[in-house]
Chain A
Amino acid sequence: AQTVTQSQPEMSVQEAETVTLSCTYDTSESDYYLFWYKQPPSRQMILVIRQEAYKQQNATENRFSVNFQKAAKSFSLKISDSQLGDAAMYFCAYRGVNFGNEKLTFGTGTRLTIIP
């Protein structure tokens, strides 16, 4: 079974600064997907960024980028130029690719606070 670990329950960052959220995972599969989801107080789960395991290039979406280290099974999220709207719970998630095994396995989340 796959597991996802987020070791930082809470993080805070000054507005306009950069912050990195950590995530490690465990799997025996060679192909899979990794995601970062954001859950603001509205509780709507919003996709931030995704990474396919077979791609060596780290994914980037505007101010959000990941550092994907497949051998180390590490998948961290970097948020640059932090904005007040980035305040939320951030969940790292793993998803298999085989038919019938596409459920998302989530970490416990990191609560990110933005300091004005």
Chain B
Amino acid sequence: KAGVTQTPRYLIKTRGQQVTLSCSPISGHRSVSWYQQTPGQGLQFLFEYFSETQRNKGNFPGRFSGRQFSNSRSEMNVSTLELGDSALYLCASGLGVRAFSGANVLTFGAGSRLTVL
């Protein structure tokens, strides 16, 4: 069973540019959530998508956006990049509904490391 796939793994951008990150969830998973990890702020929730709808959003500016496609794949976009956007962006997928067996576990991808110069 394939895991969560994030592309690209590494990328370098300059200030003012925009970037799009992709996440392919585990087959059968309908929810995808995104997290930003930085040394200063730690792990912070960006947003969560379920069945192509955003159902939860973290406290990030409007430059951060995302979407989910009908096949559950998700993309997140950051426009007008700032130096502070340099981070590891982690995607996690889950069933999206409360599993009968209990805890709905999220499985993470390996992340996309973004460097803004």
Contact = CB atoms under 8 A, between A and B. Distances in A.
B48 A102 contact: yes
A28 B110 CA distance: 32
Interface stretch (B65-73, B76-84, B98-106): B98-106
A30 interface: no
Contacts of A103: 33, 45, 48, 56, 58
Contacts of A51: 103
A74 interface: no
Contact size class for B?
20 to 34
Contact of A109 (B33, B42, B90, B94): B42
Contacts of B31: 102
A30 B113 CA distance: 36
A47 B104 CA distance: 12
Contacts of A108: 42
A50 B110 contact: no
A46 B109 CA distance: 9
Interface residues of A, number: 27
Contact of A45 (B42, B45, B90, B98): B90
A4 B35 CA distance: 16
B11 interface: no
A51 B56 CA distance: 23
A52 interface: yes
Nearest to A100: B55
A52 B58 contact: no
A42 B110 contact: yes
Contact of A102 (B104, B107, B108, B113): B104
Contacts of A42: 110
Interface of B: 31, 33, 35, 42-43, 45, 48, 55-56, 58, 88, 90, 92, 94, 98, 102-111, 113
